[in-house]
Amino acid sequence: MASAHSLCSYHPHASYNSKTHFNSFKTGSFPSITSFKPHGSSSFHKKIQSSTTFLIRATASDSKSGGKQVEVVYNFEDKLNKLADEVDRDAGISRLTLFSPCKINVFLRITGKRADGYHELASLFHVVSLGDKLKFSLSPSKSKDGLSTNAPGVPLDESNLIIKALNLFRKKTGIDNYFWVHLDKKVPTGAGLGGGSSNAATALWAANQFSGCVASEKDLLEWSSEIGSDISFFFSHGAAYCTGRGEVVEDIPSPIPLDLPMVLIKPQEACPTAEVYKRLRLDQTSVVDPLFLLEKISKNGISQDVCVNDLEFPAFEVLPSLKRLKQRIAAA
């Protein structure tokens, strides 16, 4: 992994509000473990969802016959939400702004190498509240998507996973919508945080919304494995035990408190995943059963002994400064 993922339960210089989403590496600001489920709707529908629930109750009984009391409940919010659904269906969506969270690997075991050249892994993935913002709008073009970003060095052509995801959606559905997309990048690249994979999942989900939800989330999850191993995870509920190449996703209840502060440390240099895997020696990886790690975390929470990372030493070879950085942290 290219970054040091450190979880802590206390920091003396920062207070933490579990309702706050941090999206930058500012002093005193810490991303947190969070739950996640892709979500989007029209602004009208969002207002209805955030309003107070009003219930009108009426009761009636027959005292002469001794009949049972009957209660009738009229849910005003439910009626408004149904009306909002009808408005959304009739009006369609013209633009969407979506949060695209990154993830950490609480532990990462590499358990073997497959015949197709990929490695088998077993890992506990969890999203955190650090993420990018993606803005989508329909393009009048019938041949090309447009992509812009605030982050220098991010490719804007078809090598970008956002464009790959939109091309994949058109291929699978036959729908020829094209988009303008702006990526407001907060997640550092080359950090092992899955920022690009999350962007791809968000793009698939957005394209489906613009197209009237012609595909199920199960479809999107299965399709996503064609362009990346980690993308499938971002269709989970936010915590998942991932196996295979990472595309086999098993949702689990979050074993970590959602208000747990976390420190992410990313060196300026990138640590290419392909180079790390080239340095991996399976005879030097951990032998601990990943299911044992998962069970221990579920019972006892996070501790240093469960944060196993089989790619740590290969990453140190690729980027020696990463090893020195960890040593400095441990000595602090």
pLDDT the model gives residue 174: 95
User: Which class would CATH give 4-43+90-331?
Assistant: alpha beta
* Tokens coding 272: 């290419």
Domain boundaries defined on the chain? 4-43+90-331
The C-alpha atoms of residue 227 and residue 253 are separated, in whole angstroms, by 27
Active site residue 103: yes
SS3 content of the chain, % helix, strand, coil (to 5): 35, 25, 40
pLDDT the model gives residue 88: 46
Helices (H) then strands (E): counts for the chain: 9, 10
Q: Catalytic pick from 103, 185, 186, 266?
A: 103
Length of the chain: 332
> Would you give per-residue pLDDT tens digits along the chain (332 residues)?
333 343 332 222 222 222 222 222 232 334 655 555 544 433 333 333 333 344 444 445 555 555 555 455 555 556 545 554 554 454 466 789 999 999 999 999 999 998 888 899 999 999 999 999 999 999 988 899 999 999 998 999 999 999 999 999 999 999 999 999 999 999 988 788 999 999 999 999 999 999 999 999 999 999 999 999 899 999 999 999 999 999 899 999 888 787 888 888 888 888 888 899 999 999 999 999 999 999 999 888 888 899 999 999 999 999 999 999 989 988 88
pLDDT the model gives residue 67: 54
Q: Catalytic pick from 132, 145, 230, 310?
A: 230
- Whole-prediction pTM value? 0.73
CA nearest to 33, candidates 243, 295, 238: 238
Beta bridge partners of 263: 6
| Dihedral sign from CA coordinates of 110, 112, 118, 122 | negative
The C-alpha atoms of residue 272 and residue 1 are separated, in whole angstroms, by 9
* Tokens coding 302: 């996070």
* Tokens coding 87: 């408005």
In Å, what is the CA distance from 323 to each residue of 2, 40, 276? 11, 41, 14
The C-alpha atoms of residue 206 and residue 232 are separated, in whole angstroms, by 15
In Å, what is the CA distance from 239 to each residue of 71, 106, 126, 196, 294? 41, 10, 5, 18, 12
128, 152 in Cβ contact below 8 A?
no
Tally of CB atoms within 10 A around 69: 9
